[in-house]
Amino acid sequence: MKKLFLLFVFLFMTSNLSAAELLVFAGAGMRIPLEELGENFSRETGIEVAFDFDGSGRLGSKMLMGIRPDLFIPGSDKWALKLKKEGLIDDCVAIAHHTPVIITPQGDHQVQSLSDLTLPEIEVALGDSRSAAIGRNNERLFALAGLDTTKMNIVARGINVKQLVSWVETGNVDAAIVWRADAVQSEQVETISIPADINQIDIIPICSLRTPAHPEEATRFWQYLLANAPAIFSKHGFKAIEL
């Protein structure tokens, strides 16, 4: 009986170990490179990685409410700094830049510059600053450009950048501001660059948690990302930071 009990305990522990799955909170705009990195890591190590992609603010709020991922990869460093002050984050390393661009539906040339977003006939969608890194970025951008958002015909606020791209692709709005990496992944939008002297480029950090559910596996994935993320992010249109 004792041997059977010990066998049961062993099988229970090993089955739980094999079923262990890392949970990573990540900004919606990084889905494609991170899914590729996660699949490659799982294939090499046997450790499964599950992603929760959403606006950085929404993910950060989940963490403040007590939901703990194993790693946090927001679209900018604002939430990383906030959560570090709260004692939730251990360390962060910058891996890439997020560059804002204007997008319009393919073949639609009504918008040629940032100032055109103030034209009354242009229906604009912007990120919600409470939930999406792109929304907070836009607030700084418009302030530096001297543009008054109250003069824009803003018809929708997106909770993440993927939602903004979708609205432009389907013609539900005339223009939106998204990350360049998301714009180049779509064949249904035109891209208009924002002048470098006013553009607000954000940093994408990879953040480790003080109390991850799977410390050893989380450390392995963290190290894997530091070694491999720059090349994969570059492949998908991001400006990577060489580590």
CA-CA distance, 162 to 27, in Å (whole number)? Answer: 10
Q: Is 93 helix (H, G, I), strand (E, B) or coil?
A: strand
Neighbouring-strand partners of residue 52: 25
**Residues across the chain:** 243
* CA separation for the pair 147, 126 (Å, rounded): 14
Distance CA(211)–CA(114), nearest Å, equals: 43
Residue 161 labeled ligand binder = yes
Which amino acid is it at 83? Answer: L
- Residue showing tokens 């392995």: 220
Does 234 show up as a binding residue in the annotation? Answer: no
CB atoms within 10 A of CB 177: 25
Residue 46: alpha-carbon gap to chain centroid? 25
C-alpha to C-alpha distance for 131 and 102, rounded to whole angstroms: 19
At 116, which amino acid appears? D
Residue 86 and residue 228: Cα distance in Å, rounded?
Answer: 29
Residue 170: Cβ within 10 Å count: 10
- Binding-site positions: 56, 161
- Binding-site positions for molybdate: 56, 161
